[in-house]
Structure 1
Amino acid sequence: MTAVTTRSRFSGRTALVTGGGSGLGRAMALAFAAEGANVVVAGRTEGPLKETVALIEGAGGTALAVTADVSRSADLAALVAAAVDRFGSLDVAVNNAGILRAGQPVAELPEEDWRTMLDINVTGVLLALQAEVKQMRTQSTGGAIVNIGSTLGAHISVRGTAAYGATKAAVSALSRAAAAEHIRDGVRINTVSPGSSDTTMSLRPGETEAERAVRMKESTPLGRVSTTEEIAAAVLYLASDESGSVVGADLVIDGGAAA
């Protein structure tokens, strides 16, 4: 459980995290709560979301779980409405929900996998941006949005991950365009592109954490995966007033893999 810190950069603010039931999304949600935010976590499965809420509340924070499918615009409109109804505003949004299906070269890539990753990883971010910006630009204080990309795609290429990389490269491009278009609306948009982090998504089929550690030691300059707390810290920086002049950035956190 993440302990409550003495920092309060987000006190009185509402932070929405999609894909908040596990992994990076949960780490981000806990980090926002630890710095005073009212946190809304969203995802397709209720159980993990409730677990995240319980962790936040157990540490003295405030949170709300909302089930939503990011590939459906109606779900995202309802999600934003639920956040505003409960807490009065939407100040920060982290579009983290994503899916990885890998292992096949382009010529053998199943069409279903391609379409599913497009729906969630790209269309899901577009629809989320539309719902979030619509709300934030009605607020005198605007808002900050952080989209979660990946070092795969826009920064490096790995065999068997072409479709996933294409969707995440699209997130980077979409984020830059949206950032330029909506900063005058008071909405500041940036991207965080993680490399391998301490989540199950970075494990190869059948690989243990110990085996992953050996692989990372040999394959990346840093020699290890990033912790979820390190990724969350970057997201909170881009969502905070400390990065007030950072617009359209793509912050790569991959232990030097793309260097």
Structure 2
Amino acid sequence: MAATDATNRIPTTATARPAVIYRDMTRTDIDAVVREFDDTWGNWSSAAGTPASIELSRHFVLHYLEPATHATIAECDGRFMGVLISRIAGMPVMFPEAGGALAETDQRLETDPHGADALRETRQWHDLETELERECHVNEMTQAEIELFLVSGAARGHGVGGSLWRDAMNRFTELGVERYYLHTDSSCDVSFYEHKGLDRLIAWHAAEHPQYGDDMDDIFIYAGAPSARRTSVPQPSSKQAHERESQTSGRNAKGETR
């Protein structure tokens, strides 16, 4: 038997990077989305640094899931990498139980002093967004909304943000959506949306409304048309679609990009 020179071993193939899998979101994913939301935006409210912070993040996630008609999860080796939650007018909701879970979450927040204050601030934010929608008539000119677009910091270099975005645009196109919109704010890189061809419909500048406090961000609504060009993005319907290329990832929400 010939001797083996261990010092000259050369691997025949490079170590493969774990694949990112895209699939439909399920109820069991909610906790992971809540944790990532809290890690990303948990420091913005008056509940920051308190046990109420995670409950407030749960409020936001359930608030976005309540009207949602579809949500795609990205994961790698079982680890959460990103989510895009969307709503198409007239389609059945994906999580009919989200409204009840949201009410229970709000009840828990209201029993905590920090949580109650943060919930009041959050409802004020929701009301302001609704008012801006009315002012620009966005629901009259669109058929869909991106409710939440959240990419984990661990996903950098995997192209998760770009793939989730293209998947949503493909789905909108397949289902006849001509225009969609999202909410975002000045704490996020809104150039991502401008690069994707969205137009700013309305802007609310915090400096003009001091009654909302010094920590309030500027708020925007963007709208656009999904590309008709089909892409090779992995489709959640395959349940085992893999991502190979590296693209710029986004770290944005709601279209709430806090």
TM-score (norm 1): 0.30
Structure with bigger helix share is: 1
Structure with bigger strand share is: 2
TM-score (norm 2): 0.30
Larger Rg: 2
